[in-house]
A and B are shown apart, each in its own frame.
Chain A
Amino acid sequence: MRWTIWQKLDRWARLSTPFVLGLMLAIVAVLPWPLPGAPPVTPALPLAAVYYWTLQRDDVLPPPAVFFLGLTQDLLGGAPVGLNALVLLLASALVQLRRGPLARQPFVVTWWGYAVLAALAEVALWAFGSLYFLVPLAPQPFLVQYLLGVCLYPPLSLLFAGVQRVVVGRA
């Protein structure tokens, strides 16, 4: 079957939507959100994107895309450049390993899977960050970031599922 140029463009646009959405989430995360009583944090929204898409359609976020999502997060936030890129790549590899059993589970199970992955990711961020700055960083912001990320996963996964059904699914 030969594809016309428009069909190719259409497919390309559909398949790149998850990546563009991930970039937008990285930007949204650094906006000055009001969180009374909490330290300023940047929730790990791109991690949710990496987790969801690696589980459901691992062809739409290949390693280069994951790397650039992390890099965007690093450049916009104050994290050491390369840190989030590294942690996101490792997280995507970890999800790849458990992909088979997890992908077809009910939502609660995948949510729980995300909670475990996000915990590992925050611990890795804290550990690598402390190593980088050569001082133990305050753990509290990481904890707040983690809880926020886990709470935001259900609405985000709804968004991703919608995008998967309407945009990506037909490509």
Chain B
Amino acid sequence: MARIPGPPLKESLPLKAILRRFVFMAFVGAAVALMLVGKIETVVVEELRMRATDAITPILDFLSRPVAGFAGAVESLDELASLRSENARLREENERLIHWQLLARRLEGENQSLRDLLRLKPGPPARHIAARVVADTGGAFARSVLVNAGTLDGVRQKQSVLSSEGLVGRVVQVGRRSARVLLITDLNSRVPVVVGDRRLHAILSGTNGDRPVLRYFVGDDTVADGDFVMTSGQGGMFPPGLPIGTVARASAESDDAAEVVPLIDWHRLEFVRIVDFSGGLVSESGALR
């Protein structure tokens, strides 16, 4: 009997190897399916993510303490090397700041008397929640950090997050003991800001790089290097007047984007303040008060 031509049969695979292949394909399929679900039904996957991080936060909290100590040691070694130049720089800065302090005092008094004159309603008082950064998540895909405070501590979604230097970002996910903070450098971050003394309005949008960019200027306004950038409070997402950074490379030729150097040193971000802005302009349901 002639043999039927066709692809040669493989040496009979042991059952185990066949099973392993099948399992492998099944899990590859599961991974792809998860990605698709995450793209279409973001809420479901993000809920899963928050549950997982919430469960693991105590471990991260425990482990991040020695890491912070290690970071401190590295930093002090680093500082030791540049002690002399740092000292000179600080002396110079101090002189400059004393000048600013005088100016600020004078303006504060002037401001107060003008407010009294106008009977201006002061902004709503804010409550602060202190938290530790326990994980530096994201990396190549997103810029976010995990902090060890959650709903139990009064943290809610969309609250602003500050460090001693300036605006860090806002809370995007809250678990019971942890919350994820979307940094202003993240690709999905948009912050309404005012720029410079002329208070030009723009949107600060993250790029996943270290420097977010300014977009959507109103009119043909241009900004200059060194202009100060702070939140405008438009949209009710962030309270107005939170410091963010200064403009660098204002003359980007390709489009209207100018880069902003944030005030925050991302490598030293250890403690943050979460600002409870619940007395703000927009209530939970989104209605104006």
Contact = CB atoms under 8 A, between A and B. Distances in A.
Interface of A: 27-28, 30-36, 39-42, 62-64, 66-67, 70-72, 75-83, 85-86, 89-90, 93, 125-126, 128-129, 132-133, 135, 137-138, 140-142, 145
Contact of A86 (B28, B53, B138, B140): B28
B99 interface: no
B141 A77 contact: yes
A78 B209 contact: no
A72 B56 CA distance: 10
B187 interface: yes
Contacts, number: 158
Contacts of B27: 63-64, 66-67, 85, 89
Interface in B48-83: 48-49, 52-53, 56, 59-60, 63-64, 67-68, 70-71, 74-75, 78
A42 B139 contact: yes
Contacts of B60: 27, 30-31
Contacts of A31: 60, 63-64, 67, 134-136
B267 interface: yes
Interface in B119-135: 133-135
A53 B267 CA distance: 33
Contacts of A81: 34-35, 38, 45, 48-49
Contacts of B267: 34-36
Range, interface on chain B = 35 or more
Question: For B35, B70, B269, which residue has the most chain A Cβ atoms within 10 angstroms?
Answer: B35
A141 B139 contact: yes
A86 B145 contact: no
Contact of A41 (B48, B140, B209): B140
Q: In terms of DSSP, what is the predominant structure of the interface of chain B?
A: helix
Contacts of A67: 27, 30-31
A28 B135 CA distance: 9
B28 A90 contact: yes
B70 A77 contact: no
A80 B139 CA distance: 12
Contacts of B32: 82, 86
A142 B208 CA distance: 12
Contacts of B145: 32
Interface in B16-38: 20, 23-24, 26-28, 30-35, 38
A43 to B, nearest CB: 8
Contacts of B39: 80, 132
Contact of A89 (B31, B56, B207): B31
B259 to A, nearest CB: 14
A137 B138 contact: no
Contacts of B74: 34, 36
B251 interface: no
A41 B53 contact: no
A137 to B, nearest CB: 7
13 contacts: A34-B71, A34-B267, A36-B75, A42-B137, A70-B31, A77-B138, A78-B142, A79-B141, A82-B31, A126-B140, A132-B39, A137-B140, A138-B207
Contact of B137 (A30, A33, A90): A30
Interface in B191-218: 207-210
